[in-house]
Structure 1
Amino acid sequence: MRCGSGPAQLLRRVEAGETIEITDRGRPVALLSPLPQGGPYEQLLASGEIERATLDVVDLPEPLDLDAGVELPSVTLARLREHER
């Protein structure tokens, strides 16, 4: 289908979920596709870049005891990031 002959029809097809390849003299140059659904988290799940957690936070082990005088990691991060603010 020629884009110039019916852009509204192309948009209706895309709204229905279809992805359309746009060509220039037979050479693919672009894809016209629906916008991704959901937020960034859902998009990462759909792409397979991340997976849902299989455990609940209550299943995590107790925090390790730190030796006396050892700085908590959260305190270290806060100290290192002080200059960023």
Structure 2
Amino acid sequence: MSEPTTITGRINAEALALLDRNPAGLRWSELIAQLEATDPSWHPKTVNGCVWKLVENFPDQVYKPAKGLFQLLKYR
């Protein structure tokens, strides 16, 4: 799979990678903090928007087992 070229594509790819490295899932604030640490040039509101829509944009990969917790479906 090729590297995403858009900023939102790169943020989404990194968010999915972070969730893959954390089978128990990540809380909203942890996911935001780790994404912002990955590339400080990413605007915080863009990162926030991408995380906000993770479940909506990737319903076949991400779900929320509890409020504020994101987890990959394969670790359900």
Normalising by the smaller structure, the TM-score range is under 0.3
Higher RCO (Cα < 8 Å, 6 or more apart) = 2
- What TM-score comes out, normalization by structure 1 length? 0.24
- What TM-score comes out, normalization by structure 2 length? 0.26
Rg larger in structure: 1
**Which protein has the bigger helix share?**
2
